[in-house]
A and B are shown apart, each in its own frame.
Chain A
Amino acid sequence: MSGAELNRIPMLKLPAKKLDTSLVALVTAENGLRDRVIDNILSSVYPHTWRTKEERAALEKRFMRALVAPTLTRLHFARSSPPKYFRPAPNASILKEKDDEFRKSYTALCVFDFATLGLGLSNDVLPPNGSLRMTAAESGAKIIDRVRGLDAILRFYLQYHPERGKPNLTSTLNIGHTDDYEGQSEKLYGLLRLVLPKEQVIHVDVARSLVIRKLAEGNTMVSSFVVDEWLRIAIRHLKLSSFKGPFTSIDSLMDGTKAIGGVMMRGER
């Protein structure tokens, strides 16, 4: 794997063990207000007290802005719209109502899907087959420093992964894969027709969340990266209308060079 490919891996500084508590802090905050998430972070993830506004701002910078926010946003667990909001992204949309075991398994699924589908990394460089850090060894200290965060998270979450780790953990759950609807595209369009509102443009994040939630009702866990693949199939086969966003952003659905901001399920005319 070349240095350029490894260079695409985002630098994640949040320790792997803190990811779970950070997710809880995110999904239990009221109204997606950034201040509420920071309160939760400073009470449960990095417990600190403060006396003045300045002290709180310094803690926010040290923990929220440096560690928690970049990791949660890059892994598509949160969307940040400063200064006011820090909201759950589709991958965190079902975490609030689920138990610890599910949350950890689902988080593991999301981080591995992020590595394979989001970043296009091969399974050979991911645990348990390999390690990003070892792969980066030839590319120098700077690249090692870049990949070590994701590497640590992947290694830590391997044990919770429903397929790669201990299979008995979530034996009653189904896992969504990109090829689930191969040769059965009508079934996929049926699912999309069932969950997406007709004749209304919705932000791609809303579409992702609706699909994730619907499948979770039937005990199937699927990450937003897999849902993206399904949406792309439906768009390419003209079953789902797509609308280009005003600019490319972290929440865009990329289809080749096109950054899709909204989608619409066409109703019967």
Chain B
Amino acid sequence: MPPTVRDYFRNPPFRTLAGSLSVHTGENDFAELKIHETLQKQIEEYFKTRPVTVTILVGDQGGGKTWTLSWLYRTFMEGQKDTLVVGVPRIELRGIPERGLLEGLFKGLKPQMEEIKQTMGKMEFPSNLKGTAAEYIWNAISDNEAYSILSGAGGRLPSLNGIIPPPMTKTEGTLELFLALFRFLSILGYARILVLMDEVESLFVAYGKSDIFKFTNYLRGIYDEFESDDGRTLPRLVLVMSGTYGVLAGVSPALVTRQIDESDASQALLRRLAPSFYLKFESMEDALEIASHRIGVHRKVTPDNPYIPYDEKAIEYVWKYNTGNLGNFSRDLQQMYDFALKERASKITLAHAKRAVAVFQKVDEESKS
């Protein structure tokens, strides 16, 4: 009996949903392309040249933003020892968004908590910062109740060792705690902090103009504090927010048009934003690289029979149809695989590709109507 598609793969090669931002997301499947390398170099450049950088990673839904952030997470964690990466998978949509960001940061520290506590055990808290919010954070890290409230459990922060915490329900309080957290991390020896924030568009859907203005103004405040400090007590910060075109237009219409609305209050933030990075894949080489990487990872190793079960034309067809959208590209490739598997086919061909595209074209049209 001739081999079929099933005989070539250990498991389905194309997962279509990204999962949430974490150090392990897409670990084996992620295909590192030139565009990712460019982004990494850009962030390195920011660390070298600016005390603080706020930038937006723009891509479509299914454009590979979460996997890119997860890859950045891994890449920078494996890099220099003085670099800390904090992944914020989403900002919880309750209360004020700036509190959500702060809570997300504390929650994002969890994977590094053991290392942080070990470092704390080896040193004394600096006397010149005694009684400040930074000392409060130092104490809160070891206090389960305070840490869980800071991570989003809700409730009122307790006083610790006689230090009254800034109020988390007020914007100025969250800013003080935010800066205190980064001063604390600087004390521990982290000179470069990369904050990766995913799913930012939900903010723009859930909150009204006034809340968004306060949030962008909050980011502006963070920017100014880091810039004025210029590395004296605060580490270098690169904050990457990932979002769709809607986020870009939501932060300010001036980012995508030449019109400036009078009501566009985020003008002050705009001047401080680093150029956005656009996650778009156009070349056929990218498509083949992604497909062959995924096929390679999931293929059963048969060195005596190095058969490539996908026709390049099939991949090209799906790629062009999806105009470079990675999520839909993977979805259609998986559908092709499913068709071939069901038919016990020995090769995935252009005909499978056309049928796969037709399935989702129909689904898209039905959902639209």
The answer to whether A and B interact is: yes
Interface residues, chain A, with chain B CB atoms under 8 Å away = 32, 81, 84-85, 87, 199, 201-203, 205-206, 235-239, 241-246, 255-257, 261-262, 264, 266, 269
Q: Find the B residue at minimum CB distance from A246.
A: B246
List, in ascending order, chain A residues with CB within 8 A of B364's CB: 256-257
A255 CA / B364 CA spacing, docked (Å) = 12
Q: Find the B residue at minimum CB distance from A248.
A: B368
With beta carbons under 8 angstroms apart, the residue of B256, B259, B261, B262 that contacts A262 is B256
List, in ascending order, chain A residues with CB within 8 A of B246's CB: 245-246, 261
List, in ascending order, chain A residues with CB within 8 A of B323's CB: 235-236, 238, 242, 255
A243 to chain B, nearest CB (A): 4
List, in ascending order, chain B residues with CB within 8 A of A269's CB: 34-35, 38
The A-contacting residues of B in range 245-296, CB under 8 angstroms, are: 245-246, 248-250, 253, 255-259, 261-263, 276, 278, 280, 282-283
Known: A201-B256, A241-B278. A246 touches B34 (CB 8 A): no
List, in ascending order, chain A residues with CB within 8 A of B262's CB: 84
A269 CA / B278 CA spacing, docked (Å) = 13
B244–A202 CB distance below 8 A: no
With beta carbons under 8 angstroms apart, the residue of A32, A246, A256, A266 that contacts B245 is A246
A205–B249 CB distance below 8 A: no
With beta carbons under 8 angstroms apart, the residue of A84, A206, A255, A256 that contacts B258 is A206
Chain B 352-369 near chain A by CB (<8 Å), digits 1 or 0: 000000000100110110
A81 CA / B264 CA spacing, docked (Å) = 13
List, in ascending order, chain B residues with CB within 8 A of A246's CB: 201, 204-205, 244-246, 249-250
B359 to chain A, nearest CB (A): 14
B278–A202 CB distance below 8 A: no
List, in ascending order, chain B residues with CB within 8 A of A235's CB: 323
The A-contacting residues of B in range 278-328, CB under 8 angstroms, are: 278, 280, 282-283, 320, 323-324
Known: A243-B60, A269-B38. A262 touches B282 (CB 8 A): no
Known: A241-B278, A246-B249, A262-B249. A203 touches B324 (CB 8 A): no
With beta carbons under 8 angstroms apart, the residue of B204, B205, B256 that contacts A202 is B256
The reply to whether the CB of B61 lies closer than 8 angstroms to some CB of chain A is yes
B324–A261 CB distance below 8 A: no
Name 19 interchain pairs, CB-CB below 8 A, sorted by A: A32-B259, A84-B262, A199-B278, A201-B256, A206-B258, A238-B324, A241-B282, A242-B323, A243-B244, A245-B249, A246-B246, A246-B250, A257-B364, A257-B365, A257-B368, A261-B246, A261-B249, A266-B280, A269-B38
A96 to chain B, nearest CB (A): 15
The reply to whether the CB of B58 lies closer than 8 angstroms to some CB of chain A is yes
List, in ascending order, chain A residues with CB within 8 A of B255's CB: 201
B256–A203 CB distance below 8 A: yes
B254 to chain A, nearest CB (A): 10
List, in ascending order, chain A residues with CB within 8 A of B257's CB: 202-203, 205-206
A242 CA / B368 CA spacing, docked (Å) = 19
Known: A201-B256, A206-B257. A245 touches B320 (CB 8 A): no
List, in ascending order, chain A residues with CB within 8 A of B205's CB: 246
Q: Find the B residue at minimum CB distance from A79.
A: B259
List, in ascending order, chain A residues with CB within 8 A of B34's CB: 269
Closest 3 CB pairs of A and B: A246-B246, A243-B245, A241-B280
Interface residues, chain B, with chain A CB atoms under 8 Å away = 34-35, 38, 58-61, 201, 204-205, 244-246, 248-250, 253, 255-259, 261-263, 276, 278, 280, 282-283, 320, 323-324, 361, 364-365, 367-368
A249 to chain B, nearest CB (A): 11
A242 CA / B61 CA spacing, docked (Å) = 12
Known: A238-B323, A244-B61, A262-B256. A201 touches B248 (CB 8 A): yes
A236 CA / B361 CA spacing, docked (Å) = 15
With beta carbons under 8 angstroms apart, the residue of A202, A243, A245 that contacts B58 is A243
A84–B60 CB distance below 8 A: no
List, in ascending order, chain B residues with CB within 8 A of A255's CB: 323
List, in ascending order, chain B residues with CB within 8 A of A81's CB: 261
A241 CA / B320 CA spacing, docked (Å) = 12
A257 CA / B59 CA spacing, docked (Å) = 18
A264–B280 CB distance below 8 A: yes
B258 to chain A, nearest CB (A): 6
A269 to chain B, nearest CB (A): 7
A118 CA / B163 CA spacing, docked (Å) = 66
A199 to chain B, nearest CB (A): 7
Q: Find the A residue at minimum CB distance from B62.
A: A244
A203 CA / B262 CA spacing, docked (Å) = 18
A84 CA / B201 CA spacing, docked (Å) = 25
A78 to chain B, nearest CB (A): 13
B357 to chain A, nearest CB (A): 11
With beta carbons under 8 angstroms apart, the residue of A85, A202, A203, A239 that contacts B261 is A85
A203–B249 CB distance below 8 A: yes
A241 CA / B244 CA spacing, docked (Å) = 13
A201–B368 CB distance below 8 A: no
A207 to chain B, nearest CB (A): 10
Q: Find the B residue at minimum CB distance from A202.
A: B256
Known: A206-B257, A241-B280, A243-B60. 15 other contacts (CB 8 A): A84-B261, A199-B278, A201-B58, A201-B255, A201-B256, A203-B256, A205-B257, A235-B323, A238-B320, A239-B282, A243-B244, A243-B245, A262-B245, A266-B282, A269-B34
A266 CA / B249 CA spacing, docked (Å) = 19
Q: Find the A residue at minimum CB distance from B279.
A: A241
A84 CA / B250 CA spacing, docked (Å) = 17
B248–A262 CB distance below 8 A: yes
B261–A245 CB distance below 8 A: no
Q: Find the B residue at minimum CB distance from A264.
A: B278
A10 to chain B, nearest CB (A): 19
List, in ascending order, chain A residues with CB within 8 A of B248's CB: 201, 262
B207 to chain A, nearest CB (A): 14
With beta carbons under 8 angstroms apart, the residue of A87, A201, A256 that contacts B259 is A87
